Each structure stands twice: as C-alpha cells, then as structure tokens.
Amino acid sequence: MDQTLELAQQALAAANEAKFLANNLWLLVATVLVFIMHLGFATLESGFVQRKNVVNIIFKNVMIVSIGLLTYYFIGFNLMYPGVNEGGFFGFAGFGLTPPEGGMTDAYADYTYWTDFIFQGMFAATCCTIVSGAVAERIKLVPFLIFCLLFVTISYPMTGMWKWGAGWLDARGFYDFAGSTIVHSVGGWGALAGIILLGPRKGKYTEKGIKPIPGHSMPLAAIGVFLLWFGWFGFNGGSVLSGDPELVSLIFVTTSLAAAAGAIGAFVVSYFMFKSFDLSMVLNGILGGLVGITASADSVSVGSSLLIGVIAGILIPLSVTFFDKMKLDDPVGATSVHLVCGIWGTLAVAIFGNFDKGVGEFSDQLIGILAIGAFTFLFAFIVFYLLKITLGIRVSAEEELKGLDIGEHNFTAYS
Amino acid sequence: MDQTLELAQQALAAANEAKFLANNLWLLVATVLVFIMHLGFATLESGFVQRKNVVNIIFKNVMIVSIGLLTYYFIGFNLMYPGVNEGGFFGFAGFGLTPPEGGMTDAYADYTYWTDFIFQGMFAATCCTIVSGAVAERIKLVPFLIFCLLFVTISYPMTGMWKWGAGWLDARGFYDFAGSTIVHSVGGWGALAGIILLGPRKGKYTEKGIKPIPGHSMPLAAIGVFLLWFGWFGFNGGSVLSGDPELVSLIFVTTSLAAAAGAIGAFVVSYFMFKSFDLSMVLNGILGGLVGITASADSVSVGSSLLIGVIAGILIPLSVTFFDKMKLDDPVGATSVHLVCGIWGTLAVAIFGNFDKGVGEFSDQLIGILAIGAFTFLFAFIVFYLLKITLGIRVSAEEELKGLDIGEHNFTAYS
Amino acid sequence: MDQTLELAQQALAAANEAKFLANNLWLLVATVLVFIMHLGFATLESGFVQRKNVVNIIFKNVMIVSIGLLTYYFIGFNLMYPGVNEGGFFGFAGFGLTPPEGGMTDAYADYTYWTDFIFQGMFAATCCTIVSGAVAERIKLVPFLIFCLLFVTISYPMTGMWKWGAGWLDARGFYDFAGSTIVHSVGGWGALAGIILLGPRKGKYTEKGIKPIPGHSMPLAAIGVFLLWFGWFGFNGGSVLSGDPELVSLIFVTTSLAAAAGAIGAFVVSYFMFKSFDLSMVLNGILGGLVGITASADSVSVGSSLLIGVIAGILIPLSVTFFDKMKLDDPVGATSVHLVCGIWGTLAVAIFGNFDKGVGEFSDQLIGILAIGAFTFLFAFIVFYLLKITLGIRVSAEEELKGLDIGEHNFTAYS
C-alpha cells in the first residue's frame, strides 16, 4: 500500500507539473503575440504618415520597444508589482530582477517569475508606441525618446500598480481586465498632452478648412491592424494569467467579435458621415473595438461584446471629427482609438459586465478613469512642457516641410 | 487505503485536466494562425493587383473577415454543426451561440465550445477571401459584400455540414481532412462563377493576344504567401481537433514538404513553359502544394506528400495558362490555386491515402467534389446573376480605367 | 488495493502523456516561429537592396526554404543526426526519414520524431538565407541555387553534427546552445567566401571613397527585423527541446534583453561614428544582439545577456565600417550580424556562461569557432570557385546596371 500511495503522490505531482508546463507555455506564447504588436504599431503608424517621415516613425518604434524592455527590467517591473504596499499609491521592490528563492515553479503562480516579467514587459512599451503615432511628423527625436524613457519607467508602472499591483484602485473595486485604461487610455492621455503642446502639422488646419493629409501606404496600415488584432489574442488571452480553457477561449470569442463589430460600426457611420467607404475609418474601427473590449473581455457575454465593439466602432469617426474640430492633430487617430475607446471600454465594464466576476460599479470605473487619466495627463504634460522650454520638442518649419527622415536621419525610407 | 484511492482519483482527474488544457490551447494557437491567413490573403491579393485597386482589395478583405465572423456567430456555426440530422442535407440549431449546459470541459470534446466556434469561425470567411482575389479590379463593392454575406452565411456552412457536420457526404465515406474541397474549392467555385459573369478586365485579352497585367508589388505578394504557409500550420495542424503529438507533427511535415515540393514543381514547369524564373508561379506553386495536401495531410506518407505537392505545383502554370486561354480572367490565380489544386488534393486522398485511416475511395471523393462543386457553383452563379441584373456587379469602364480606389473610395493606397 | 494501484498507474501514465503533449506542442509552435524567420530574412533583404533587384532576392529566399526542407528530408537530417558515430567527424543514417519502430512517443524524447525533423529542418535553410543577403544584387541565380543545394545538404549538417549530433566538438566540450556558430556564423562564413569571390557591386568603392547604396524600402527592412526577433523566441526557446518552464522563460528574457541592448549599443556608437540616427544600424544592432545571445541564452544571467547584447550592438557599426574598408561589399550587413556577432556570442559563452551548466572553456569555444569556420569557409570557397570557373557566378555589368529583376526574371517588383 505504501508503494501505491507513493505512486499516487507521484502521479499527482506529475499532473500538476503538466498543468504548470502548459499554463506557462501559454503565457510565453501570449508574450510572443504581444511582442509582434510592436511591429503592428510600427507598420500602422508608418502607413498613416507621409512618405517623408517613415524612417523617423520606424526609428522611434524600434527604440521604444528596446528602451521599454530595458527600463522595465531595471525599474518598471518592480514599480508596477512591488509585492508590498497593498492598497497603496506607490511602492518599489528595488532595481533589477530578483527571482524568488526556492525556485521558479508552483510557489509563485501558474507561471514562472521570468514569464511574469517578460509578459508584462512586452505590455509596458505599448503606452509610448501609442503616443508615437499621435505626435508623428513634427516632434524632435531626442526629446521624444526622453519623454518615453520617463513615461514608461515611471508613469505607466505607477498607475498600473494602482490596479494590477494590488494598489488603491484595486482595493476600491475598479476593474480593468487587460488594460483599456491601464494601457490604452494611458497611452491616449500621453498622446493628448503631446499634441496639445506640439500643435498641429503645418497646413492641416487652414482658413479654408481642414486639409486631410493622407498616409503614404494603406497596405502598411492594413498590415498593422491585422498584426495588432493577431497580437491582441495574446494581450487579452494572456491576461488570464493561465491557460484556463473556458476563460481563454471565451476571451478569444469576445475579442474577435468586438473587433469585427467595430469594423461594421465604423463602416456604417463613416459611410453616412463622409459618403464613401473609408478604409482608414474601418481599420481604426477594428482597433477601437479591440481597445473597447479589453477591459471586460473576460466578464461579458458574447452578445455584449458585439455591442461594446459596435459602439466603439461608431465612436471612431465621431471622435476623429471631434478632435479635428478642436484642431488637435493626430495623424494616426491614436487618441480616438486608445483614449476614447479606452474610456468607453472601461465604462462598459459596469454596463455589461458580470458582477459575479467582481467587475466594478459605474462609480468605481469612473474614479479609475479619472484618477489614472489625471495623473497620466499631468505627468505627460509636465514632461513635454519641460522638454519644450529646454530642448524644444518641435522640429523647425523647414525640417517639417522637407520631412524628418532627412532632417533627423539624413536618410529616406524609399529610394 | 481510501485516502490513497482518493489521491489516485485526484491525480487522474488532474492529469486529464492537464491534457484538456494543452489540447484546448493548441486549438487556440491554431485559431490565431488561421486568423493571420486573412492578412496573408489581403497582402497576396494587394500585391497581385494594380496600384490603383489596392485600397479596394484591402477594404474587401477587412470587411470579409468581419462579416464572416459575425454571420458565423449569428447563423453559420449552427448551420454547419447542427448537431442533429446526422447523414442529412440540411440542419440548423438556431440563431446565436448556446454553450452546452453543464459547462465547457470534457463533456464536449478535447476543447471548449468557445474554442470550437472561434476556430471554425476563422475558417469560414476564407471561402470569400478566395473569391475576392479572382474578381478583383472590376467588381462593385456593395454587390460583392452582399454576395459574401450570402455565400459565407448559407452556402459554405451547408456544404461544410455535409461532411464536417456529419451530413450525407460523411455517411457516404467522402474524406476531406482540413478542407481541400470544403474550404478551398468552395472558394474556387465561387470565384469561377464570379469571373464568368463579370468578364475579363479591359485590355487583358486583346486581338493581339493575352496581355499580362502585372501586380503592383511582389514584396506584398511574397509576404502573403509566407503568411499563408505560416497560417496553414494552424489550418491543417488544428484540424486534428486535438494536440495529438504524432498526428499534429506528421501534419506539420506533410504540409511543409508539399508546399516546398509545390515550389519546385512550379519552378521547373514554368521555366520550361516561359523560359524565365517566374516568381508569381513559384509563389502560387507553394499555395497549390498547400491546398493539395489539405485533404490528406493526416493520412498520407511523407513521400506521398511530396508527390501531391509537386503535382500541385506543376498544375499551377498549366492551369493559369488554361484559364487564360478560356479568357477567364483571374488576377491572382485563385481558381488555379484553390479550385484546381483543391480538386487534385481531394482526389489524391484516394490515390495516396491510408485506407486504414478511413479515407474515401476514388468514387466517394468524386461524388464529394461534384456534389459540393455543383451546389456551390450554382449558388454563387445565381447570387451573382441576380446581383448583376439588379444592382449590377461591374464598375463602369471609366471607373475601371481610373481604378476602384478613386471610384469606390475616393482615396489612393499610396501618396 | 489492486484497483487503486491500477488507478494510480493510469494516473501517472496520463500525467506523463499530458507532459509529452505540452512539450511536443511547444516544439511545434517553435517550428512555426522559426519558419516565419524565412519571411523575416526575405523582407529584411528585400528592404536593404535596390528596387531593381527585389524580385530576385525574394525568388532566392522562396527557393532556399523549399530546397532546404526537401534536401533536409532526403539527406540533411540523417547527416546531422546520424545517431551513431558519437564523437566522430562524419556519419550518415541513410536517405529519407525512418520513424522509430515502436512509435512516436516517450521512447524517443520529449517530442516525436516528426517534430524533431521539422523543427531542425526549419533551421537548416537559414544558413543559405544569410548568404543570400550578402551576395545580393550581383550573383547569378542558378549558380547561387546550386551553391545553396550543396551548402545546406552537406556543409551545414556536417558541422552541425560535430556538436548537435554528438560529434567530436561535443565530446571536446564546445558549447553552442542554439547556434551562434553552428547556424549563424556558418551562414556568415559562406557569405564571406561568396563576397570575396564575387567582388563588390559596381560603383560601391570608387576613387572618391565609399558610396552608400541605400536599400529601397526601410519599412520592409523593419518588418524583417521584427519578424526575425519574433521568430527567435522559437529559435532559442525551442532549442531547449522541451517546454521546461524555467529554462524557456529565462531564455525569453535573455533573448529579448540582448536584442534591446543591441539596439542601444548600435544607436550610441553609430551616433558617435556617423553623427546621425542610423536606422539600418539600429536594426542590425538588434539582430547582432540576437545572434550574440544565441550560443548562451540558456546559461547566462539576465545581467550578462545585457552585456552580450550591448557589445554585439557596438560591434555592428564597427564591423560594417571594417568590411567596407576591406572592400568586402555586403548589401545587408549579413557578415557583421551573423559572422562577427556569431563569433562574439560563441566566445561570450566562456566569459559569462554558467560552468555548472556545462558551458565550454575559452579554448573549447575557440576550437569550435575555428574548426567550423575553417571547414565552412573552405567548403563555400571551393564550391563558389568551381561555379565561378564553370558557369560563372556574377551577372554581366550590363545586367547589374539594369537590375537582376529584368535580367534574370524579366519582371519588376513594382509596376
């Protein structure tokens, strides 16, 4: 009998190892998917800017992901997940990574410490990538990279901690499954601060009205949107933090249907507004649907995900038109996609979410949106402002005219 | 002892949970891979059309995947897998999704209900994407989208049910592992109906002979082919409907070698036919190999997969030439790749397949090809015909000349 | 009690099946990731060559992956893993594949025989893809394909066997985790032999100095780098040959941080060298970091991975400048990335590696680098030389001027 007991214990341990193995692998696959979203952003933004600014936008995106990973290693991860100070506003677990004593496995979670770091690290740089598109075609390279360094090292992890690091917003009941607010609207607020201080591109808002400045390559933009959708399976699906069969598969469904519904919403409304089949609106409609469902992908019904997506899609042409009326020039529509739909998605939690799953009330959601929004906008505004009065943030009118590729890189994207 | 028994039961349950976890995750990864095939189609078709029609083709592909997912949710899934009416011709399990009572796990299959829906849903839109390439550069947008809506909502799920939904072709012994017929030639028949009713592009077939109209970007076309191959690992590998180690890995081998052999077949034959190293033939040769192996990837030897692939590759330049002689104008070669190689692959099951694995006899395969082909072609022909005599399906000669991007979207792909 | 024993045995067997399932699936996912590196190389090299040579470079890359897979099936796999002749210099297990008797599962490894073949097969063609970039814009197509056929069929598997097939270098203690030497510098040596015998492109090295010949599309080049990084998660992560949670996740971290640090190293040094923000240097810096960490991704600390990456990044602009001074013309920088950083990474094993993990001493590493380098360089040099004095390897000056797309393919990439 002792032998049988031993065998049964061995079998149970092996079964648990197998689960840990599969769960951890799913998080790693999700990491790979989130990683490729950086290519998605790079191609989307490249496609939506003018030919003369393509090297610059790619350069920024390449640097952002590199800076983001390195600073997340040195500081960000331990600022976002201090592991102490529950319910608090700020915490820091020290520089660099300190793997847990006693090993990597079941003591920690359904995945290893390294997996935790690299999955979260891939998210971190996203907030800057969002800003990068909005301030494109007129921002100076070095000040922008300094902004990113500060934004991704300090601002993003701090507000992220408030919820995901068991901080005060988590204690208050705020709910944001995979980051409609914590990732996307954070990027959107940074973008808004940037475009306010930068001002619009020359020739965009003229006395004769708003002059569209079309992007230089729709295939690149479309590649970007498909890759972002592709990566979002990891972004939302990985945020379960395990491979839980029911939950991950439900999230695949809600995420996909919200994206598809976003396309339809933007298609219909932009047709009525502009009397044409507007590809860039439909592409941004998909992204709006994805941002919108991100806060609640795990806790709404499939039918609700359709509504969340279609409303996000409808918001896109309205929001793009609104920002243009306010003369807030955003070449890629990042504020509409990430800020407006990020807010919408965070509120939608309280409207459509399953309260059994612990989603927040409307007031909780609103507090989260406002607190994170206010902190982030102020942080970004102050940093951009200090850069503006010191290094300057805007290229010269001459450089803007000939393009940043020549001005900043002495190179052209095509030859 | 009771305690030991309990422990052993617990261990067995945990082990089965671990298997379910891993199997389900494989299906979800396969879903992601099939999803990105839509980007593969979008870039392939963009690359093979003229510069003036790029926005239009991307717009169609973006809308198709969105429409496909939504209609599959509302109707298609329950039409393709009615779960009743075994051996029948038609069945419908009602609108929307109804998750099984008693939960998502082992009661259902090696994966959850949501996984089932989303994996199959990613396949559904493919049949329209295939059509989209063949009818490119001259079809009106709205009638095309109406066609897609009907084709993907009714035609594809109905014939799909005949085999995969345990319908009459399944009962008859027809075999089509991952859809050489059920997906690819269905798309091909739809394409054929469309190009017959549309007629060729202006200037393609002149008195002086056939004028090639080269695609505007070979890099885009190549990106498309690599992404399709990439996605095919999920298309074929996921069609095992579990992560079965031997079967999935064998399928990776047969699928890859058929693709590689397809390239070689097309390379050699196109060199002898055209006396040049023809990139578009080699690219389509790879796709032909992939379509060809799709019906039998699980049930042929690795050596046979090479033969199936090389013959598919050889068929490509022959078929492209044949369709051109018939003045059936297909800008991307979709009928050659998906219809011709789809038929070839379905027949190859009976030639090379392992009958121990339950593959069909030649006559069974032929009946499947003919039945699905006849239904699909007629369905598509009637829908396109009705659209032709009502809304019209072809853009004006003037619009065709200046391009559909300006005509339908008032936009250009590059600026 | 017997029943309980049986149940416990059953549970243990099921748990082991679950582990095998998950491990095997991880290797298959890694296979898919390594596959897409071929698209990464194709787009990277396309982007870095001139517009007039794009069809040619894509054609080569498409053919290489096809030839590589087929020859690896017929010969390469059994030459690289002869399964006999341990500690030897040469072995061959016969033509084609012979699955193990008694089935695919636990008798073999943590994955099936088919998985083993297809994962290794995806690596094989890489060595030629590296060469393809370096010799671009002036090499004749058919001789190049003949070179590839021989290089990938004979040279790569033979030297690969010395280590990974349990050959003499393995017996000597040489360590190369995922192939800084075995894959990357092998490609680099082949490239070096090629560019020595080919000579530089016309007009590159003039009396007035070195004339930069900029690539035709930076977006394509950037797509290539991101896809290569994406694929490298499978290249390094799959080389664990299981899904071991701690090891695979550690490798994700070391690989990513080395890539990011490579970008920073190249950014800083190229800024000081060229006084501009040089996108192509930063892109190659990332690749250099990835190549550098490949030999030791499993056996260095995270901090060391940063150092390895940053030094690799620093080496890139220095090496590119050095090769240009030597008038060794490499349009894409493949020798700098794969040869120089491959050597660096292999040496770094002895500097930073954890000797508890069995990494080699400096002398062991050096012997491996020299032995594989000498064999590969000589093999490639002799093959290229024989091709040069028979078929000729360089296109005519006239063809070089008008471009290989017209010369070899009678086609253009864009129209």
pLDDT digits (tens, 9 = 90+) for C142-154: 999 999 999 999 9
When pLDDT is cut at 50, 70 and 90, the band that residue C105 belongs to is: low
For C203-212, write each residue's pLDDT tens digit.
Answer: 999 999 999 9
C74 interfaces chain B, CB cutoff of 8 Å: no
Please give the torsion angle defined by the CA atoms of residues B239, B240, B243 and B244, in that order, rounded to the nearest 10 degrees: -160
Please state the rounded mean pLDDT for residues A395-412: 95
Establish if C12 belongs to a structural domain: no
DSSP for A62-105, please give it.
HHHHHHHHHHIIIIIHHHH--SS-TT-S-----SS--PPTT-SS
CA C20 to chain centre: 28
Angle between helices B218-238 and C2-48 (to 10 degrees): 170
Nearest to C1 among A4, A69, A412 (CB): A4
Q: Residue B414: what are its φ and ψ, rounded to 5°? A: -130, 145
- On the question of pLDDT at A62 being above 60, the answer is yes
Contacts of residue A8, defined as CB under 8 A and 6 or more positions apart, other chains included, come to B4, B7, B8, B11, C4, C7, C8, C11
Residues of C in contact with B252 (CB under 8 A): 28, 31, 114-115, 118
How many structural domains comprise chain C?
1
Identify the residue among C7, C23, C25, C101 best suited for mutation to test binding to B, counting B beta carbons within 10 A and taking the highest: C25
CB contact under 8 A, A260 and B66: yes
Identify the residue among B50, B253, B270 best suited for mutation to test binding to C, counting C beta carbons within 10 A and taking the highest: B253
| Block residue for tokens 């799913």 | A26
- CATH at C277: 1.10.3430.10
CB contact under 8 A, B55 and A218: yes
**pLDDT score for C89:** 85
Nearest CA in chain A to C278: A409
Domain extent, residue A328, equals 19-409
Residues of A in contact with B111 (CB under 8 A): 245, 249
**pLDDT score for A353:** 87
**pLDDT score for A84:** 63
CB contact under 8 A, A28 and C260: no
In the structure encoding, which two tokens stand for residue B72, read together? 């599959």
CB contact under 8 A, A214 and B415: yes
Nearest CA-CA distance, residue C120 and chain B, Å: 11
**pLDDT score for C349:** 95
In the structure encoding, which two tokens stand for residue B207, read together? 């008195």
| Block residue for tokens 């940043």 | A404
Q: H/E element holding C205?
A: strand C205-206
When pLDDT is cut at 50, 70 and 90, the band that residue C190 belongs to is: very high
Contacts of residue A288, defined as CB under 8 A and 6 or more positions apart, other chains included, come to A262, A265, A266, A312, A313, A315, A316, A336, A337, A340, A341
**pLDDT score for B3:** 86
Burial class (CB in 10 A: 0-12, 13-18, 19+), C115: buried
Chain A to chain B, count of Cβ pairs less than 8 Å apart?
A: 189
DSSP for C220-237, please give it.
HHHHHHHHHHHHHHHHHH
How many residues in chain B?
Answer: 415
Nearest to C283 among A62, A69, A220 (CB): A62
Contacts of residue C388, defined as CB under 8 A and 6 or more positions apart, other chains included, come to C143, C197, C394
State whether the Cα torsion B257-B263-B264-B269 is positive or negative: positive
DSSP code of residue A139: B
Establish if B246 belongs to a structural domain: yes
Nearest to B246 among C58, C69, C112 (CB): C112
* Chain C 109-168, residues with CB within 8 Å of chain B CB atoms: 111-115, 117-118, 121, 141
Establish if A10 belongs to a structural domain: no
Q: Residue A210: what are its φ and ψ, rounded to 5°? A: -85, 125
- On the question of pLDDT at B281 being above 90, the answer is yes
Residues of A in contact with C255 (CB under 8 A): none
Residues of C in contact with B282 (CB under 8 A): 59, 62-63
CB contact under 8 A, B12 and A11: yes
- On the question of pLDDT at A86 being above 70, the answer is no
For C219-274, write each residue's pLDDT tens digit.
Answer: 999 999 999 999 999 999 999 999 999 999 999 999 999 999 999 999 999 999 99
**pLDDT score for A103:** 65
Nearest CA-CA distance, residue A354 and chain B, Å: 17
Do the beta carbons of residue C393 and residue C202 sit within 8 Å? no
Do the beta carbons of residue C182 and residue C159 sit within 8 Å? yes
Give the pTM. 0.98
Nearest CA in chain C to B233: C32
Q: Which pairing describes strands C209-210 and B209-210: parallel, antiparallel, or unpaired?
A: unpaired
Residues of B in contact with C414 (CB under 8 A): 216-218
Chain A to chain C, count of Cβ pairs less than 8 Å apart?
A: 190
**pLDDT score for A105:** 59
Nearest CA in chain C to B13: C11
User: Could you tell me the maximum CA-CA distance found in chain B, to the nearest angstrom?
Assistant: 91
CA A178 to chain centre: 9
When pLDDT is cut at 50, 70 and 90, the band that residue C353 belongs to is: confident
Nearest to B256 among C8, C25, C118 (CB): C118
In the structure encoding, which two tokens stand for residue B35, read together? 């999803």
Do the beta carbons of residue A106 and residue A16 sit within 8 Å? yes
Establish if C371 belongs to a structural domain: yes
B92 interfaces chain C, CB cutoff of 8 Å: no
**pLDDT score for A104:** 65
**Nearest partner of C169 among C353, C363, C359, C368, judged by Cα:** C368
Q: Residue B324: what are its φ and ψ, rounded to 5°? A: -65, -40
Establish if A4 belongs to a structural domain: no
**pLDDT score for B248:** 97
What average pLDDT does chain C have? 95
| Block residue for tokens 């929001």 | A319
Establish if A414 belongs to a structural domain: no
**pLDDT score for B241:** 96
Nearest CA-CA distance, residue C214 and chain A, Å: 7
C414 interfaces chain A, CB cutoff of 8 Å: no
CB contact under 8 A, C282 and A22: no
**Nearest partner of B317 among B345, B291, B337, B290, judged by Cα:** B337
A107 interfaces chain C, CB cutoff of 8 Å: no
Contacts of residue A389, defined as CB under 8 A and 6 or more positions apart, other chains included, come to none
Q: Which of A83-92, A347-356, B114-123 has the highest mean pLDDT?
A: B114-123
Establish if B381 belongs to a structural domain: yes
pLDDT above 90 as % of chain C: 89
CB contact under 8 A, A415 and C225: no
| Block residue for tokens 């899609």 | A313
Contacts of residue A18, defined as CB under 8 A and 6 or more positions apart, other chains included, come to B15, B18, B19, B22, C15, C18, C19, C21, C22
C303 interfaces chain A, CB cutoff of 8 Å: yes
For A298-322, write each residue's pLDDT tens digit.
Answer: 999 999 999 999 999 999 999 999 9
Binding partners of A (≥3 Cβ pairs within 8 A) = B, C
B21 interfaces chain A, CB cutoff of 8 Å: yes
B16 interfaces chain C, CB cutoff of 8 Å: yes
CB contact under 8 A, A256 and B118: yes
CB contact under 8 A, C70 and B264: yes
Binding partners of B (≥3 Cβ pairs within 8 A) = A, C
Establish if C3 belongs to a structural domain: no
Binding partners of C (≥3 Cβ pairs within 8 A) = A, B
For A178-221, write each residue's pLDDT tens digit.
Answer: 999 999 999 999 999 999 999 999 999 999 999 999 999 999 99
Nearest CA in chain C to A26: C26
When pLDDT is cut at 50, 70 and 90, the band that residue C359 belongs to is: confident
* Chain B 215-254, residues with CB within 8 Å of chain A CB atoms: 217, 220, 223
Q: Residue A247: what are its φ and ψ, rounded to 5°? A: -70, -45
Nearest CA in chain C to A9: C8
B54 interfaces chain C, CB cutoff of 8 Å: no
**pLDDT score for C135:** 97
**pLDDT score for B85:** 62
Angle between helices A113-124 and A2-48 (to 10 degrees): 10
A283 interfaces chain B, CB cutoff of 8 Å: yes
